[in-house]
Structure 1
Amino acid sequence: MNSPRNRLIYLAQSPLATRALLQKVIKLDPTCSKIFHHSTNELVNTYQLPVRRAEKLYRYIKQYQEDCSVSKKLADFKIWTILDQDFPLLLKLIPDPPVILYGLGRSDYLQHSPSLAVVGTRHPSQLAKQHMYRLLKPLVDREWLFVSGMAYGIDGYAHRIADYYKGRTIAVLAGGLLHPYPSKHLDLFHRLAKNHLVISEYPPHLKPERYHFPERNRLISGLSFATLVVEAQERSGSLITADQALEQGREVMAVPGAISLAQAKGCHHLIQNGAKLIQNTYDILQEWELIKRNWRQIRSEIH
């Protein structure tokens, strides 16, 4: 029980331990043991913490025991830490990788290739749904995997297409797995957790916060060789995901729409700025054919 990964997992359950702090802990001491022996002053000086936060973290750390109740509370979840051999390879390559992931379902999906992020508006047009079926169903038949955020609209529809046609999909949540959001997608959440994979970088007990959503989006793009935006307004979370994909060195694709449609403006903006215009499934397959050799080589090298 008293291993580096268990110490890291224990630290991560505290709201005092941000991702930045956990990354610094690992950088300074991969065994994650020294922090458990620091005084409050050492926590302040080593990690540049405010005094009150350091005092609270010190008290939390002192509660750690080898057989602590944290392990029992997390027993139902698959947990990957960045210290583990089976930590998702693709997420190691992004600028700000998660330190810990919690999951329910098919853990092998994190190694599946090719994987495509599918994102878009929460209020899609009827035409967008038709486009998604025509674009994505042939990819399901080719055993592609879709990554999305289980939100209303495009995200949920991407998951449902994969599930209905017996494909593969990963949902990345913006809160802990004990608090799936949105609540109206609770049935979808349970279906995905049973037959596919649902993951989060936030401890299971943590409720979603507004700032979690843009943080979550970097994992959606990070798990995929490309991000496909189906419909999106000019200022939207989907465009944030597209920006993060570009920052991560991934491809961005966009489906055009009617010039009078507000939900199409974000896609048109992406296309104007270099995103690949997607008119049919062949366009997506062509993009994968162009880069798959390099993509697979990168995966094999970091493996």
Structure 2
Amino acid sequence: MRTFRSRLIQLHQCRGADWKVMESFLIFDPTLQSIYDMSATELRRFGLTNEQAHVFYEDLHIRMPWKISHVKAGEIKAVTRYDQAYPERLSHIYDPPWVIYCIGNQQLLHDQKALSVVGSRYPSKNAETAMNFILNPIVSEGWTLISGLAIGIDTLAHRLALHQGRTVAVLGSGFKHIYPNLNQELASLIAKKGLLISEYPPDRPPEKHQFPERNRIISGLSAGTLVIEARKRSGSLITADQAIEQGRDVFCLPGRITDAHADGTNRLIQQGAKLVLEADDILNELAHFWEKETSTI
């Protein structure tokens, strides 16, 4: 017999079940039971196009991706928004994911001492030196680094954290489609020593719109976000904007005003983000956040 939890996970894995569609399902029927009895035509009432409705119906009744996914028993854990294991910090953002899929140390979902690190996919030669200088003391203080497994700053942050601490990688695709492909080995290492998470079902391939979507999770799990080298228009600025909307601290490494890699970060500083010259610029700011948060427990 299907429980509400299993229905939520099953519906979530069907193609076309984006965040808004799932919200519409739950508003229409909080038990989600009646969705199983609807035809493809009836499913269009939830904002699905005719094609999306037929694909969704096919997944729900014929293809059943939750039954055919190539996942070893127990390797992937699904955490729904209604589970006790769901991270409280993430539950307070505007559009928390309905389901999070996890491989690795699930306890890291609840690590209050978490800092997200984002930045350029093509960082300058000085970026790694600056990151080591700023982030090594932070990791030594027991902070978990959260990033998105992209090439560049994300990769550097994950590798730095793995040397002496903990890291969480938030994917923009399902676990069967690690992106970028060259970070397959890094993803496997994080799964063993840290945590891989995604709001996308294991079979979901990478799609362009999914990467900006996942940025809200990167910032949402963190006490603050550090931006290192971001151009004027970049995905890192989307993460920073999400952090600001979520009421989280944003920190930026400054750069030369003539350096295109630093244009985005310099402008964030101009708009009120905290300029970072050393680890204590972050630790002192987040110590206040930490004290305020622990005092409410």
Range into which the TM-score falls when normalised by the shorter chain: over 0.9
Structure 2 gap segments, 5+ residues each: none
Letter in 1 for 2:122: H
Task: List structure 1 segments (4+ residues) > 6 angstroms apart after TM superposition.
Answer: none
How far, CA to CA, are the matches of 1:187 and 1:74 in structure 2?
18
- 1:41-56 to 2 correspondences below 5 Å: 42-45=42-45, 47-56=46-55
Q: CA RMSD in A?
A: 2.1
1:193 paired residue among 181, 186, 191: 191
More moved, 257-266 vs 132-141:
257-266
1:125, distance to aligned residue in structure 2 (A): 1.6
Judging changes above 3 Å, is the alpha-carbon distance between structure 1 residues 123 and 54 closer, same or farther for their aligned structure 2 residues?
A: closer
- 1:180-259 to 2 correspondences below 5 Å: 180-259=178-257
Judging changes above 3 Å, is the alpha-carbon distance between structure 1 residues 72 and 133 closer, same or farther for their aligned structure 2 residues?
A: closer
How far, CA to CA, are the matches of 1:51 and 1:261 in structure 2?
48
1:114 aligns with 2:101: no
Aligned residue for 1:19?
19
- 1:57-68 to 2 correspondences below 5 Å: 57-63=56-62
1:38, distance to aligned residue in structure 2 (A): 2.9
1:26, distance to aligned residue in structure 2 (A): 2.5
How far, CA to CA, are the matches of 1:42 and 1:258 in structure 2?
57
Contact 2:15 2:55 in 1 (8 A): no
Deviations 1:60-114 (A, max 9, x none): 434499xx72587473311111121111211111111111111111101001121
1:41, distance to aligned residue in structure 2 (A): 5.2
How far, CA to CA, are the matches of 2:257 and 2:41 in structure 1?
60
Letter in 2 for 1:106: N
1:9, distance to aligned residue in structure 2 (A): 1.3
Q: Tell me how many residue pairs correspond in the alignment.
A: 295
Deviations 1:101-156 (A, max 9, x none): 11111101001121001011011122211111111111111110010011111111
2:207 aligns to what SS in structure 1? coil
1:245, distance to aligned residue in structure 2 (A): 0.7
- 1:23-172 to 2 correspondences below 5 Å: 23-40=23-40, 42-45=42-45, 47-63=46-62, 69-70=67-68, 73=71, 75=73, 76-165=75-164, 167-172=165-170
Judging changes above 3 Å, is the alpha-carbon distance between structure 1 residues 59 and 171 closer, same or farther for their aligned structure 2 residues?
A: closer
How far, CA to CA, are the matches of 1:251 and 1:283 in structure 2?
12
Judging changes above 3 Å, is the alpha-carbon distance between structure 1 residues 64 and 262 closer, same or farther for their aligned structure 2 residues?
A: closer
1:28, distance to aligned residue in structure 2 (A): 3.4
1:289, distance to aligned residue in structure 2 (A): 2.0
Contact 2:15 2:59 in 1 (8 A): no
TM-score (norm 2): 0.92
Identical pairs, percent: 43
Contact 2:226 2:250 in 1 (8 A): yes
How far, CA to CA, are the matches of 1:275 and 1:179 in structure 2?
34
1:155 aligns to what SS in structure 2? helix
TM-score (norm 1): 0.90
Contact 1:10 1:64 in 2 (8 A): no
Contact 2:230 2:264 in 1 (8 A): yes
Deviations 1:220-255 (A, max 9, x none): 111101110011111111111101111111111101
1:260 aligns to what SS in structure 2? coil
Judging changes above 3 Å, is the alpha-carbon distance between structure 1 residues 52 and 181 closer, same or farther for their aligned structure 2 residues?
A: closer
Contact 2:276 2:282 in 1 (8 A): yes
2:202 aligns to what SS in structure 1? coil
1:176 paired residue among 170, 174, 177: 174
Letter in 2 for 1:213: F
How far, CA to CA, are the matches of 1:121 and 1:49 in structure 2?
35
How far, CA to CA, are the matches of 1:52 and 1:152 in structure 2?
34
Aligned residue for 2:265?
267
